[in-house]
Amino acid sequence: MSGPKGARGRRFEGALDPVAAALNASVSFDQRLLPHDVAGSIAHAEMLAARGIISAEDLTAITTGLRAVESKLAAGELPWDESLEDVHMNVESRLIDSIGDAGRRLHTGRSRNDQVATDLRLYARAAASRLISLIDDVRRALAKQARAHLDTLMPGYTHLQRAQPVRLAHHLLAWDAMLARDRGRIADAQRRGNVSVLGSGALAATTLPIDREHTARALGFAEVSHNSLDAVGDRDFAIELVAACALAQVHLSRIGEELVLWMSSEFGFAKIGEAYCSGSSLMPQKMNPDLAELVRAKAGRVIGAWVTLVTVVKGLPLAYNKDLQETQEPLYDAVETLDACLTVARGMIETLVFDVPRLRAAIDAGYLLATELADYLVTKGVPFREAHDIAGHLVRVASERGVELAGLGLAVLKEAHPAFEADVADWLDPARAVDRRTVRGGPARSSVLAELDRLDAELL
């Protein structure tokens, strides 16, 4: 007994125009939904049997048949048929071919509209869990490097100009702070999208005595949707997840940019493992940070996916419209791009080797301790704005003499302000300067160590 050819049925006499059929088909990309479609169908069939809408014998045939079809499609033993439009019709048609009339009863009480919306939510939920796990892997790599370089000093920057000394660990934990927010946004999108829409039908639910809570529980959804019109036309969960992916990719892009800078001869702060670099077709000495550059560039792609999603949904009338098929590819692409970039980012971070002496030497040029002079004067009762002005004057003096601030000597400092005493020398030691910044979130050793301990406990 043959299964249905597409969803047009006997209402139509002829086939779609070949070009129109190719444009209409989605199986080339929505086959990603195969495990979720089968899981949703099994839950639906179990509910139908529990409500007495189909027999126990039909349920057994359907569940056994669905698992066999899934296995054969996934293994390539059954080919995907574009004439069947999508993953849902491919599965149902092969099921009917396999088990006959029992397979024809599977679609009782549901529409492809609530079916695809359910499958996409299951996909998005699983994707979010994987992305969260990958983000945590990157964060663990950062924490390990940070702990290894707890006592490595480096210049901190503003405007890409050397500003103040910090710990390398503090800089690496700044990357972690960005990723931690990304993790939270993805988890939030996952939570808000964890709603079952199965039972909404095409747009107006069903007259059959189905049990929506049954299928929601079976599929692990936290609740059921409250409006059938909204449920089948809603793709907010995909838009939110892709928005979170876009911002995460932006953060990876920022990390990639800093890695590119640090690997340059001008900085020379770090080297990335050779597994994440490439050579030049012309210049044999080159080791290019190609993967860091690609991670940097992929932000445009994921941002583009988000723009596509919101543009497709903009202005759509309720309820389902075929336009919504165009929300799938951007969702898959954003998730898979971020997935790959997180995996590569973890590898790059794990293989980073830092030039500790060069990082430390970079502190000794550029008057990075000027702020310490201002703070010192503040502790002596000088108003900050006056202290800031005096420190700026001393930077000019040091620059004219070709020395750093520590090379000016106490006599020159006292000429600028009598509050300077011999103890100012301690303020011009970079390690002590960093360790005086003990406020929560600061770069002092005690603060960074506390943050590392907190992070390790969070990532257990």
Catalytic residues: 159, 280
Question: What is d(CA 241, CA 124) in angstroms, rounded to the nearest whole number?
Answer: 7
From first CA to last CA, the distance across the chain in angstroms is: 54
Q: Give one DSSP letter per residue of 198-257, joined into a string.
A: TT-TTTT--SS---HHHHHHHTT-SEE-S-HHHHHH--HHHHHHHHHHHHHHHHHHHHHH
Q: Provide the token pair at 187.
A: 């988890």
Whether the CB-CB separation of 241 and 335 falls below 8 Å is answered with: yes
Q: Provide the token pair at 237.
A: 């969960």
Is the bond into 319 cis (omega within 30 degrees of 0)? yes
**Location of structure tokens 């009598």:** 418
DSSP symbol at 53:
S
Whether the CB-CB separation of 245 and 339 falls below 8 Å is answered with: no
Question: What is d(CA 359, CA 169) in angstroms, rounded to the nearest whole number?
Answer: 12
Question: What is d(CA 141, CA 29) in angstroms, rounded to the nearest whole number?
Answer: 33
**Location of structure tokens 């759509």:** 316
**Nearest in space to 196 (alpha carbons), one of 320, 89, 43:** 43
φ, ψ at 174 (rounded to 5°)? -70, -40
* CA 114, chain centre distance (Å): 27
Looking from the CA of 127 toward its CB, the CA atoms found within 13 Å total 29
3 state DSSP class of 165? strand
Whether the CB-CB separation of 341 and 252 falls below 8 Å is answered with: yes
Q: Provide the token pair at 434.
A: 């960093």
DSSP symbol at 288:
B
Assign 3-class secondary structure to 415-435.
HHCCCCCCCHHHHCCHHHHHH
Which ranges of 351-429 does DSSP label H, i.e. alpha helix?
356-361, 370-379, 384-401, 410-416, 424-427
Whether the CB-CB separation of 151 and 359 falls below 8 Å is answered with: no
Strand partners, 226: none
* CA 226, chain centre distance (Å): 29
